[in-house]
Amino acid sequence: MRYATFASIILLAFTARAMSQQKVTFHVTSVSQADATDYCTKCNATRFTVEGYTQNKDGGVKYVLECVEVIPGESNHKSVACFRVHAHTDYGARIFTDSVAFGSSSQSDPVVIDYSIKSEKELKK
């Protein structure tokens, strides 16, 4: 019974996330990366920071995004990767409540994770 309840909660969370997404064109204006030495001690982690915006007829939103890519130092842990983007380029993206997903959501190895939204600011037309 406990597992059925847990499974129902997980299913509801994924359903709510899918319903809260907004498909947009995301224009990347800046990309930087740095070692994420604060992230873990037995891994190689790189923090990617992406700046960009979405635009529609009423205005737009400027975003600062962050993703930490991890290559574990131990073989029994999984790697996670960040979707690679480049400045001065448009990408199809899905905007969620607290993250932005680029590309398609496929089960790959390494797992490609979403970018966290660090800040967002309205752009007036």
Model confidence pLDDT, tens digit, residues 61-109? 999 999 999 998 877 778 899 999 999 999 999 999 999 999 876 666 7
Q: 14: part of which helix (H) or strand (E)?
A: helix 2-19
Whether 28 is in a domain gets the answer yes
- pTM, rounded to two decimals: 0.79
What is each CA distance from 104 to 2, 3, 4, 32, 120, in whole angstroms? 33, 30, 29, 22, 23
- Domain assignment of residue 43, given as a range: 22-124
Give the integer Cα–Cα distance in Å for 63 and 56.
15
* The token pair that represents 112 in the structure block: 């490609």
Whether 14 is in a domain gets the answer no
Whether 13 is in a domain gets the answer no
Look at residues 81, 80, 103 and name the one whose alpha carbon lies nearest to residue 90.
103
Contact (CB, 8 A) for 48 and 114: no
Give me the number of domains the chain comprises: 1
